[in-house]
Structure 1
Amino acid sequence: MLRSLFSGVSGLRVHQIRMDVIANNIANINTTGFKAARANFQDILSQTLGRSAVNTTQVGLGVSLAAIDNIMTQGALQTTGRALDLAIEGNGFFVVKPVDSSGNSVNHPLYTRDGTFYIDKSGYIVNAQGYRLQSTSNDNIQIADPDKIVSISIGSDGVISVVKSDGTKITYNIGLVTFKNPESLQRVGANLWDVTPNVTDPATPTPGAPGTDGRGYIRSGFLEMSNVDLAQEFTNMIITQRGYQANARVITTSDELLRELVDLKR
C-alpha cells in the first residue's frame, strides 16, 4: 500500500484536531480570563531507503500532534465599575478552594484568572461555582456580618477594606500565586486551572501579596478579557482548512495511483 495514503490520513487527523482547537478559541472569545490554545505538529519517523555518498535517502511517514500549548499572555482589561470584579495585571493567579456538599473547604486548591467574585450568605468571598477565595495566609476570606456592610473597596495591593454600619473598618488580604511554567497548567473547566503532577513548578505554590515576586497587581472594577486574537484565529482557520484539503487531495491522488495499478491486470 502507498505510504502517501497513510501520510494523507495522518494529515487529516491532526488538521481536524487543530480546527477543534481553533473552534474552541473562537467559542471563548468573550470568556472572562480565557487563555487561547495552539496546536503544534511534528513529523513521524522517517523510513530509510538507502544511503548515498552525500546523504541518507529517507521517506517521511506523515505527521502527528506534538502538543497543544496554552498561550498565557495578558488579556485586555474591561471596566465594570463593580468592586468585586477583579483583574490581575501581571502573571499571578487567584487561588480558590472548592467546597463539599456540606460547605466545607476541600484542601486541594484551584487557580483562576477570572476575577468575578461575590459574597455568599456566610460572608465568604466566592466565585460563580461557590469556591472560596484565599488570602495571603492561605485561608478562606470570610467577611464578618456581611449584612452590615456599608462599603467595600479593594486596592491594587489586594487589601480589602470593609466599612460596617457601625463605622468600624476591617481589612483582609487577597493572595496571588505564580508558576515558573504556567503553560504547564491543565484546564479543568469553569475558567479554572490545576497543576500538572511532576510538571508544574512549584507543585504547591504559596499565596503572597499582589505586587511581590512578579505576581502582578489587582485592579478592582475591571475584568480581564479573553486573549484570543480573532484575526489570527480566522487566519489559522484558513490555513488549517487548506491543509486539510491538501491532505484530502493526497488521499484521492494515491487512490487514483492504486486504481491504475489494479487496472494493469486488464
Structure 2
Amino acid sequence: MDRLIYTAMTGAKQIMEQQATTSHNLANVSTSGFRAQFDTFRAVPVVGPGLPTRAFVVDSTVGSDFRSGTIQQTGRTLDVAVEGPGWLAVEKADGSEAYTRAGSLKINENGVLQTASGLNVLSDSGPITIPPDVKITIAPDGTISQVDAGPNPGATIDLARLKLVNPEEANLVRGNDSLFTTKDGEPQEADANVRVISGALEGSNVNVVDAMVSMIALARQFEMNMSMLKNAESNAAKATELLSLG
C-alpha cells in the first residue's frame, strides 16, 4: 500500500514544480533574450531495511532551451541581438561575470553602458563608458564607435568593444535572475566569431502553444496522482474494516 503512496505523493509534488516552471516560461514569453527552462524526472529507490521496492520521484535535471528566438528589428541604436550562438557579458552586483542574450541597452547618468535591468555591460577591459552627447554605432563584431560630427563628418572613433563569448552550453548554469554563469564561475574569453545585429532585439524562445499544452497535460497528471492517493486511502480504510471484523 505504501508503495503507491510514495510514488503518487512525490510525483504530485514534482508535477507542481514543473507546472511552476512552465508558468514562469509563459510569463516571460515577451522577455527579450529569455531562454525557456525545462525539468526532467527520474525514480530514486528508497534506501533502508525493508524498503527496496519503494521509490521517490525527483527532479533530476533543470535545463534550458538554448535555441535562438526570433530577431525583431527596432531601429534603436542601443539595441543589439546576438546572431546565432553567443552571449553578452555583463557584470553582476557582486562584481562577478554573467551572460545574457537581452540586448536592450542604455546609458546611465554616469555614462556607463548598462542593460535595461541596470547591469554594467562589459568589454575586455571592464565596464564601458560612453562620452556625453555623442552619437554611437555598434558594429557586427561588437565594436562601439563614436561618430564624429565635427569638421570631418563620417569619421569614427572606436570607444570599446562588447565582450561577446560563446561558452559550451553544458558549462552554463542559470541563476534565479535568469542570467547564466559558468559552472566554475570563471570568466570566459571573448570569441571573435560571435556577431551581433544592431538596431534589433532577440525575442524569447518560449513556444506559447507547447507551453499551454504542457500545462494542460501536467494538470491531468496531477489529478491522476491525487486520484491514486484517494484510492490508497480508500483501500486502507477497507483493510482496517476487515481487520476490525477479524
> Measured at CA, do residues 219 and 164 of structure 1 come closer, stay the same or move farther in structure 2, by a change above 3 Å?
same
Deviation at 1:192, TM superposition (A): 2.5
CA distance in 2, matches of 1:98, 1:241: 37
Corresponding position of 2:146: 162
Alignment counterpart, residue 222 of structure 1, candidates 165, 176, 200: 200
Equivalent residues of 1:138, 1:206 under 8 A apart: no
CA distance in 1, matches of 2:45, 2:92: 44
Alignment counterpart, residue 126 of structure 2, candidates 139, 153, 168: 139
Alignment counterpart, residue 83 of structure 2, candidates 89, 99, 111: 89
Equivalent residues of 1:39, 1:68 under 8 A apart: yes
Equivalent residues of 2:92, 2:119 under 8 A apart: yes
CA distance in 2, matches of 1:11, 1:72: 27
Alignment counterpart, residue 71 of structure 1, candidates 65, 73, 81: 65
Q: What SS does the corresponding residue of 1:185 show, helix, strand or coil?
A: strand
> Measured at CA, do residues 192 and 46 of structure 1 come closer, stay the same or move farther in structure 2, by a change above 3 Å?
closer
CA distance in 1, matches of 2:29, 2:119: 24
Deviation at 1:183, TM superposition (A): 6.2
Deviation at 1:108, TM superposition (A): 1.8
Equivalent residues of 2:10, 2:56 under 8 A apart: yes
1:161-214 deviation line (CA, Å, top 9, x unaligned) = 21143246211322201212356322241x532333x4x7xx3212243x2xxx
Corresponding position of 1:187: 175
1:207-253 deviation line (CA, Å, top 9, x unaligned) = 243x2xxxx31001111111101111112112211111111111011
Deviation at 1:131, TM superposition (A): 2.4
Corresponding position of 1:249: 227
Letter of the 2:89 partner, please give it: V
Identity among equivalent positions (%) equals 26
Alignment counterpart, residue 205 of structure 1, candidates 188, 192, 202: 188
Equivalent residues of 1:158, 1:174 under 8 A apart: yes
Normalising by structure 1, we get a TM-score of 0.81
Q: What SS does the corresponding residue of 1:227 show, helix, strand or coil?
A: coil
CA distance in 1, matches of 2:64, 2:89: 19
1:55-96 deviation line (CA, Å, top 9, x unaligned) = xxx845242211211111111111111011000012211112
Corresponding position of 1:102: none
Corresponding position of 2:35: 35
- Structure 2: tracts of 5 or more residues without a match: none
Deviation at 1:107, TM superposition (A): 4.1
1:20-44 deviation line (CA, Å, top 9, x unaligned) = 1111011111111111011111012
1:122-169 deviation line (CA, Å, top 9, x unaligned) = 33211123322222x33322223x22x1x3222212122211432462
CA distance in 2, matches of 1:62, 1:139: 47
- Structure 1: tracts of 5 or more residues without a match: 48-57, 100-105
Alignment counterpart, residue 108 of structure 2, candidates 120, 125, 129: 120
| C-alpha RMSD over aligned residues | 2.5
CA distance in 2, matches of 1:46, 1:133: 47
Letter of the 1:161 partner, please give it: S
Equivalent residues of 1:79, 1:221 under 8 A apart: yes
